[in-house]
Structure 1
Amino acid sequence: MADNDLLIPVADSETVRQTVSHAADRAQERDGTPTLHFVCPVSERPANAADSAAAAEAEALLDRVSVWATDDLGDDASRVAIETSLVGLDVYLFNPGDYADVFGAYARENGVTAVVLDPRFNPLGMAPLLPPLERELEAAGLTTELAPVERATRRGPITRSAGLGQFALLFGAAFGFYQLIATELTTVNLITGAITATIVAGVLRRVSTQGSVRPRRLVGRVGRMLVYAPYLLWEIAKANVAIAKVVLHPRLPIDPAVVEFDAAVWSELPATTLANSITLTPGTLTVDVTQRHFTVHSLTADARRDLLAGGLERAVRFVFYGRAAMRSATPSERGETPDGSVDSAGIDSAQSASRTDTNAGDSE
């Protein structure tokens, strides 16, 4: 039902993640089957805007936004649809009126009447953009709402607010680990484990946890991790056999090289999981990770091809973002090549695939 739909313009800002979360909350409050329309303007218009670097960056942002929204929707992901689109490819966007025109045209085409704006939305870096943009959108007959988010600070506090959920999560993890290394369930181990877990949870709950604990989402991730573990072991076993063949070969056909690529994971824990999984797989070693940019040393050309084929990356996305995220483009489909160059044909096919897959189903 179009009356329940929301239009959310997005750009790479420090509050875009919070804006996406707020839009998902607003959609969950609505009846029927609302649709979240995330649109990203391409402000720079070269001769072929659809193939420009700016368009590729906008597509990557929309991929992230789609995964975030699906994750935030949780159980409602099957009821709330997600649409993503680039706008402004055929015009030159210079002032708030230009942005309002392309957003208004998209809204009329899709029957959307309500817009949620990121308070830090400013794709051109010009000031001020948002107040006049609001006025232009309202003049076009659209209802506008600023997402109630706070500007991120450069140096956040070491500790964060934490409640019973964070305490219970850390207590359970610490208690389970204590019993695992104790190897025997005795009364002494249970008592000392409970005391130790209480101390750990009490001291670290405001340091080691971030955000609220959602039990259903947590259970889903743990369940998917249990599926991922045997998959990882199988990949390790296959890589061991492949490396053993290379080592035992009379000519020792190794071809060591360093490959760099941007992984489609967007927070610390997924990136750490992927980096460790790559290192655990013989033939590849994670040398450095900067945000989502990975530098990996590979021993053979086959190891590089397997790495860029994206099996491990898709599996990690499955664990943290759900089934829908598995259909995102792999590094090779995004245009990454073993020598670190970018294949433009690969980028084109990846963009086409990402547009097809943005309406994926339930993340759980």
Structure 2
Amino acid sequence: MTGGAVLVPVEESTTLRNTVAHVLHEAAESEAATPVVHFVYPLSSRGRLGDEDEEARELLERIELWAEEDLGEDDRRVRVVTATVGEDEYLFSPGDYADVLERYASQHDVESVVLDPEYNPTGATPLLPALESEIRGTGLSVEEAPVDRPTRRSRLVRRSGAGQFLLLFGLSTVFYLLLAWSLAPYDLVTGVVTGAVVSTVLWHVSLTGPIQPRRLFGQMGRLCLYVPFLLWEIAKANVGIAYVVLHPKLPIDPEVVEFDAAVWSEIPVATLANSITLTPGTLTIDVESRHFTIHTLTAGAREDLFDGSLERAVRFVFYGRNAARMPTPSEREGR
């Protein structure tokens, strides 16, 4: 790390504490008369901004306490600054993060950036390599803090019963036969063998929740009704987008919107997210628990989204008819 001001983007991570200690130690050992370390929290605006702002404030206060503890006698020599950035924009790609960091760096005469090895505010694909490249493109020097990552061990294999095995076997076999689109003896035999192999290997990994046959068959039946409904929604949206594309004035009005969906657990949330993406004019950018961030291309697409027809249909599939009778996103959000 070179002398002068240093910028460290922060978020909660398992290596943040060690990263803070490393950067402060390097600053205290530098030859600069008054080293300055900027710890900044980029607000991604994913979720409710007020909640994220509160989380950022608490984390930055904690970093200030760590700095007092780590610096000791060097506390007066090394200047520690904490701040939030990106309050007025939606941060999605590595380039977005690099842009707000570069603007902050230019405003505060920062020469270099140090990255926490576990820094990944998007929570999706690994951000660090792409972010390093984008920051270097701005002319700033960038390095990764040389701190150890803790070993992560998650429980992959879980307890399962015969119901999970049979369900996974049936789904795998049917899926194979659908891909083959044939009921010839060879395809039937290879489908059964493939289903047996998949269910044996993934028996204790996938579908580990309790199997309730009555509820499962009900969901399958309602799913058969949902598929033509979704295809109809896709067809309608295609007509709307075709009109926009062919219109001489090209009346698009892109906007990123957010809402909390009234669906719960992974499969219903994934079903709704993918249904939104499959519908032309809307694209699911991010999902955190039940909080959806959606890119909409036109005002009509936003209206359809907040009218909640897809959300209501997904609730019908997984929770039954009574669950479909809930307020729409527009009613819940007060739009």
TM-score under structure 2 normalisation?
Answer: 0.54
Bigger Rg, which one:
2
Where structure 2 has 5 or more consecutive residues not aligned to the other structure, the ranges are 1-49, 51-151
Q: What does residue 307 of structure 1 align with?
A: 305
Q: What does residue 331 of structure 1 align with?
A: 329
Q: What does residue 278 of structure 2 align with?
A: 280
1:290 paired residue among 266, 279, 288: 288
Letter in 2 for 1:237: A
What root-mean-square deviation, in Å, do the aligned CA atoms of Structure 1 and Structure 2 show? 1.6
Q: What does residue 262 of structure 1 align with?
A: 260
* 1:193 Cα deviation from its structure 2 partner: 1.0
**In the aligned structure 2, how far is the partner of 1:332 from the partner of 1:203?**
44
* 1:210 Cα deviation from its structure 2 partner: 2.6
SS of the equivalent of 1:289 reads strand
**In the aligned structure 1, how far is the partner of 2:265 from the partner of 2:309?**
19
**In the aligned structure 2, how far is the partner of 1:326 from the partner of 1:253?**
33
Contact 1:308 1:336 in 2 (8 A): no
Q: What does residue 186 of structure 1 align with?
A: 184
Letter in 1 for 2:304: D
The one-character-per-residue Cα deviations of 1:221-265 (angstroms, maximum 9, x if unpaired) are 000000000110010010001111111111000000000000011
* 1:163 Cα deviation from its structure 2 partner: 1.1
SS of the equivalent of 2:332 reads coil
Letter in 1 for 2:312: R
* 1:155 Cα deviation from its structure 2 partner: 7.5
The alpha-carbon distance between structure 1 residues 278 and 336, as it changes in their structure 2 partners (threshold 3 A), is farther
**In the aligned structure 1, how far is the partner of 2:251 from the partner of 2:183?**
50
1:175 paired residue among 173, 176, 179: 173
Letter in 1 for 2:168: L
**In the aligned structure 2, how far is the partner of 1:286 from the partner of 1:256?**
13
SS of the equivalent of 1:285 reads strand
Q: What does residue 230 of structure 1 align with?
A: 228
**In the aligned structure 1, how far is the partner of 2:324 from the partner of 2:153?**
34
Identity percentage of aligned residues:
63
Aligned length: 185
SS of the equivalent of 1:176 reads helix
Contact 1:165 1:213 in 2 (8 A): yes
The one-character-per-residue Cα deviations of 1:1-53 (angstroms, maximum 9, x if unpaired) are xxxxxxxxxxxxxxxxxxxxxxxxxxxxxxxxxxxxxxxxxxxxxxxxxxxx9
The alpha-carbon distance between structure 1 residues 282 and 321, as it changes in their structure 2 partners (threshold 3 A), is same
**In the aligned structure 2, how far is the partner of 1:155 from the partner of 1:270?**
27
Matched, 1:316 2:284: no
SS of the equivalent of 2:330 reads coil
Q: What does residue 207 of structure 1 align with?
A: 205
* 1:186 Cα deviation from its structure 2 partner: 1.4
Q: What does residue 41 of structure 1 align with?
A: none
SS of the equivalent of 2:243 reads helix
Where structure 1 has 5 or more consecutive residues not aligned to the other structure, the ranges are 1-52, 54-153, 338-364
Contact 1:159 1:207 in 2 (8 A): yes
Q: What does residue 116 of structure 1 align with?
A: none
SS of the equivalent of 1:334 reads helix
SS of the equivalent of 1:179 reads helix
Letter in 1 for 2:246: L
Contact 1:270 1:320 in 2 (8 A): yes
Q: What does residue 107 of structure 1 align with?
A: none
The one-character-per-residue Cα deviations of 1:120-177 (angstroms, maximum 9, x if unpaired) are xxxxxxxxxxxxxxxxxxxxxxxxxxxxxxxxxx986211111110010000000001
* 1:336 Cα deviation from its structure 2 partner: 5.0
The one-character-per-residue Cα deviations of 1:262-304 (angstroms, maximum 9, x if unpaired) are 0011110000000000000000000111111000000001110
Q: What does residue 195 of structure 2 align with?
A: 197
Contact 2:259 2:333 in 1 (8 A): no
Contact 2:307 2:330 in 1 (8 A): yes
Following superposition, which runs of at least 4 residues in structure 1 exceed 3 angstroms of deviation?
Answer: none
| 1:104-123 pair list within 5 angstroms | none
SS of the equivalent of 2:292 reads strand
* 1:182 Cα deviation from its structure 2 partner: 1.2
**In the aligned structure 2, how far is the partner of 1:261 from the partner of 1:226?**
27
Contact 1:261 1:336 in 2 (8 A): no
Which of structures 1 and 2 has the larger relative contact order (alpha carbons within 8 angstroms, sep 6+)?
A: 1
Contact 2:234 2:280 in 1 (8 A): yes
SS of the equivalent of 1:196 reads helix
